[in-house]
Amino acid sequence: MRVLVTGAAGFVGRWLTDAFRRDGVAVTALATEPNTVGAPLLSHARMAPIAWMYGDLRSDAYVSAVVQAARPDFVVHLAAISHLPTAAADPALAWDINVTATARLLHELGRARDAGHGDPMVLIVGSGEQYGRHDDADVPLVETALLAPRTVYAATKAAQEILALQLWRSTALRVVVARSFNHSGPGQEPRFLLPALVARAIALRNAPPGTPLLLGNTSPVRDFLHVSDVVAAYISLCRRGVPGEVYNVASGVGHSVAAIVARVLRRAQVSASLAEDPALVRTVDVPSLVGDSRKLQLTTGWRATRTFDDIIDDLLHAATH
């Protein structure tokens, strides 16, 4: 069995390639350049059985070479600008990478299939951010809920999904779409919420008494999964997902940012006052973003196995060891 993973040097990509490796799957992993692969999760021993190919998915020649070399049974398309402020700062780049590069990849996979070189299952990884703002009565959100993206990142992911499903309808390229809600764990960059909060909590242990913990909006409610559960969901969708269908990858449980902060501080054994930092406040924050994953569970048998406290504890352990 062969799998092609784009964005393999990223946070989820590193966990996913390692999980496939442990399952004995032949992995072709894509990254922009070799120096992006030096993350702690992928030690030299773990990287050895993985075939890395370096380049830019915006290059037709690179994409063609990758598809010809990999001949995948499964494709997991993770490569994207996934940080909301980064996408907002350069919308043209975000659209180019998140949508146009996806079009190149899917087109090449379709050409290879039409030439008789396999018929891979292609998992397109989208985001719960695509849903945008909804009434509280609609939460947890199901897959039939209206998509109303409020950020550049969410809009590109919605467009990516439209593109992929159009190809499924018109060419029968076997595409499955995941709409993933928030997830975290060791290896995630500190510019994201949970690792940022853990880093600040640890820093407060040695800070002068009365040093506040700086925050942005504390009222938004978010749904978090451990990255290992997200990876398990992606593998389940590769093997048992239904082409042309969309699946939420979510816990179904919401936590307000204020409650998350309190939980992080408690598990870090730190006391601190809270203060708002205007630089961290985002006006486009969706008040509540919680997903219903029953469709995923019924189709694949997937279940989350890690708790929210497990995420925090694993981040604390990684940051202090």
Quick one: three-class SS letters along 134-152? CCHHHCCECCCCCCCCCCH
pLDDT in tens, 122-165: 999 999 999 999 999 999 999 999 999 999 999 999 999 999 99
Residue 275 lies in a domain: no
Residue 40 lies in a domain: yes
Residue 212 lies in a domain: no
Residue 264 lies in a domain: no
Residue 198 lies in a domain: no
Residue 203 lies in a domain: no
Q: What is the pLDDT of residue 284?
A: 62
Q: Tell me the CB-side half-sphere exposure of residue 75, using CA atoms within 13 A.
A: 30
Q: What percent of the chain has pLDDT over 70?
A: 94
Print the domain residue range for 237: 2-185+226-251+291-305
Q: What is the pLDDT of residue 36?
A: 58
DSSP state of 211: P
Residue 217 lies in a domain: no
pLDDT in tens, 256-295: 999 999 999 999 999 888 887 777 776 667 899 999 999 9
pLDDT in tens, 164-183: 999 999 999 999 999 999 99
Number of domains in the chain: 1
Euclidean distance between CA atoms 123 and 231, whole angstroms: 12
pLDDT in tens, 11-66: 999 999 999 999 999 999 999 987 655 444 555 445 557 999 999 999 999 999 99
Q: Is the pTM of this model over 0.85?
A: yes
Domain with residue 72: its CATH number is: 3.40.50.720
Does residue 307 sit in helix, strand or coil? coil
Euclidean distance between CA atoms 11 and 244, whole angstroms: 26
Euclidean distance between CA atoms 233 and 180, whole angstroms: 10
Residue 286 lies in a domain: no
